[in-house]
């Protein structure tokens, strides 16, 4: 048994959460900074239409990330469970098959996106003011799509391999590269959208190559060529756990598309640009919850595989408590600094700043509900019960959020579009909490049964 496995089994849970969640949170924050950099420089150098163009293609980026999330959650959780069972070769097989699938998916996105670029951008809701900006960005972003999803998925495998700091540093190097290149090409050389896209592409390729090299030389989780293939049985196994993450990101992409179309109808380019800013703020808030959930995932997965149910319950209890505390603090912070946040991204556009400052408290005021929902939903993914998460996602997005995006503006106009998110997440959070309470009772029953067996021996 390796030192890392021993730590998963017997280490102090709070210390483990700190060790894995803090780097995961920083890694997620770095990703947000990565995205903020693009929008900040585009906002300063290009203006409202540039930010609107990025917001327009955001659903496509979410769909791409959904594929990476599928293997980050499915592959990361399953490899952790297999490590807990001491089945090292099966854990490596999960890694190899995931790598193969990521290559195929990435190449498909690049090819399809390049061939049908204009049609896709028009479908996503580009206006005559934003279409050329969106085209300029996509031309130079599409070639790096394979590396973008590979970074997302392999960062999860790094955490499962017991290297959370390295996962964080990989994202950090990518973000720093993007910031420097954005400044050079967007600001100094005035390349505009093309410069921002080139910066993103190069910043994806560098860490992507590093991650492949790391796992080729791995000790615990190792990328072995015999496993780099399209094994149907293994793919189904990964899908059974990770499909909920894919489904979640995909439906979020559909929601982003619905938001764009409704915002254009009820608020025009102003509302689209405002959503471009609010999306970054929302992602920043989500980062604190998601980083904690990503960090606890290998702890939950390993101990579930090892049948250490008491540690599973303790890990969940500590993590959801921390999530709620962070949510209250951060929501309070952004609600009272909404104008300063809006003004950070644009200059000489008081109309956009005023609109965004008014919209932020409405759209993001109930993010504590999001924290509770995500903590509960991600628990089931970590313990290999992805279908429960899929049902919760269906309720949150397909039954609540997307329909409300079309219904609420009939009464409240553009502000009704914004209210769809907090209302749906509050209902979803209450439902998820009820489902988790039943799961906790089930796990306690398993724990008692296991204790009886141990006493018998």
d(CA 209, CA 207): 5
| Banded pLDDT at 97 (limits 50, 70, 90) | very high
Average pLDDT, the chain: 87
Pair 76, 156: CB distance under 8 Å: yes
Other C-beta atoms closer than 10 Å to the C-beta of 228 total 17
pLDDT of residue 214: 93
CA separation, residue 314 to residues 5, 229, 317, 379, 424 (Å): 18, 38, 5, 12, 29
Give the mean pLDDT of 334-358: 87
One DSSP character per residue, 302-359 reads HHHHTT-HHHHHHHHHHHHHHHHHHHHHHHHHHHTTHHHHHHHH-SS-HHHHHHHHHH
* Residue 224 DSSP class: -
CA separation, residue 86 to residues 76, 81, 92, 128, 305 (Å): 15, 9, 12, 57, 9
Pair 331, 282: CB distance under 8 Å: no
Encode 46-59 in three state secondary structure: CCHHHHHHHHHHHH
Spacing of C-alpha 269 from chain mean position: 26
CA separation, residue 141 to residues 57, 74, 134, 213 (Å): 11, 26, 10, 23
CA separation, residue 219 to residues 4, 161, 431, 439 (Å): 12, 9, 42, 35
* Residue 401 DSSP class: I
- What digits encode the pLDDT tens for the residues 389-439? 889 989 999 999 999 999 999 999 999 999 999 999 999 999 999 999 999
Give the mean pLDDT of 205-226: 91
pLDDT of residue 183: 87
d(CA 178, CA 286): 21
**Does residue 228 sit in helix, strand or coil?**
coil
- What digits encode the pLDDT tens for the residues 295-324? 888 888 888 888 888 888 999 999 898 888
Task: Examine the pLDDT at 129 and tell me if it is beyond 90.
Answer: no
pLDDT of residue 449: 81
Exposed / middle / buried, residue 212 (Cβ in 10 Å: 0-12, 13-18, 19+): middle
What lies within 8 Å, CB to CB, of 19 at 6+ separation is 164, 295
Task: Examine the pLDDT at 289 and tell me if it is beyond 80.
Answer: no
Task: Examine the pLDDT at 154 and tell me if it is beyond 80.
Answer: yes
CA separation, residue 263 to residues 125, 260, 362, 453 (Å): 10, 5, 15, 59
* Residue 285 DSSP class: H
pLDDT of residue 1: 60
Give the mean pLDDT of 38-63: 83
Task: Examine the pLDDT at 150 and tell me if it is beyond 90.
Answer: yes
d(CA 116, CA 118): 6
pLDDT of residue 251: 87
pLDDT of residue 302: 85
pLDDT of residue 344: 84
Annotated domain spans of the chain: 3-452
pLDDT of residue 115: 94
pLDDT of residue 454: 67
Pair 393, 377: CB distance under 8 Å: yes
């Amino acid at each position: 048994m390796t030192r890392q496995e021993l730590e998963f089994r017997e280490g102090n849970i709070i210390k483990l959460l700190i060790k894995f969640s803090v780097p995961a949170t920083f890694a997620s924050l770095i990703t947000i900074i990565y995205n903020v950099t693009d929008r900040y420089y585009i906002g300063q150098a290009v203006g409202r239409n540039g930010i609107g163009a990025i917001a327009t293609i955001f659903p496509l980026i979410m769909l791409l990330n959904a594929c990476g999330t599928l293997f980050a959650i499915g592959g990361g959780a399953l490899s952790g469970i297999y490590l807990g069972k001491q089945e090292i070769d099966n854990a490596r097989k999960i890694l190899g098959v995931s790598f193969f699938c990521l290559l195929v998916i990435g190449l498909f996105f690049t090819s399809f996106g390049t061939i049908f670029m204009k049609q896709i951008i028009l479908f996503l809701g580009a206006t005559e003011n934003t279409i050329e900006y969106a085209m300029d960005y996509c031309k130079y972003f599409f070639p790096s799509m394979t590396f973008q999803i590979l970074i997302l998925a392999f960062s999860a495998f790094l955490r499962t391999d017991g290297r959370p700091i390295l996962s964080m540093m990989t994202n950090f190097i990518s973000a720093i590269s993007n910031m420097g290149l954005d400044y050079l090409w967007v600001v100094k050389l005035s390349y505009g959208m093309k410069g921002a896209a080139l910066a993103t592409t190069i910043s994806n390729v560098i860490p992507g190559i590093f991650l492949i090299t790391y796992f080729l030389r791995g000790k615990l989780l190792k990328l072995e060529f015999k496993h780099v293939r399209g094994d149907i049985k293994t793919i189904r196994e990964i899908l059974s756990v990770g499909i909920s993450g894919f489904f979640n990101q995909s439906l979020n992409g559909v929601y982003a598309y619905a938001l764009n179309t409704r915002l254009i109808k009820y608020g025009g380019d102003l509302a689209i640009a405002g959503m471009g800013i609010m999306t970054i703020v929302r992602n920043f808030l989500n980062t604190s919850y998601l980083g904690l959930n990503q960090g606890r995932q290998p702890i939950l997965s390993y101990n579930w595989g090892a049948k250490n149910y008491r540690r599973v319950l303790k890990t969940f209890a500590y993590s959801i408590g921390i999530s709620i505390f962070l949510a209250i603090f951060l929501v309070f912070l952004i609600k009272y600094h909404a104008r300063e946040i809006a003004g950070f991204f644009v200059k000489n556009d008081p109309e956009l700043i005023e609109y965004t400052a008014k919209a932020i408290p409405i759209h993001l005021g109930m993010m504590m509900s999001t924290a509770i929902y995500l903590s509960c939903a991600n628990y089931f993914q970590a313990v290999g019960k992805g279908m429960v998460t899929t049902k919760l996602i269906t309720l949150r997005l397909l039954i609540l959020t997307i329909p409300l995006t079309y219904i609420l503006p009939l009464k409240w106009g553009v502000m009704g579009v914004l209210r769809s998110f907090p209302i749906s997440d509050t209902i979803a959070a209450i439902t998820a909490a009820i489902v988790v309470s039943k799961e906790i009772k089930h796990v306690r029953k398993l724990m008692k049964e296991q204790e009886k067996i141990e006493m018998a021996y």
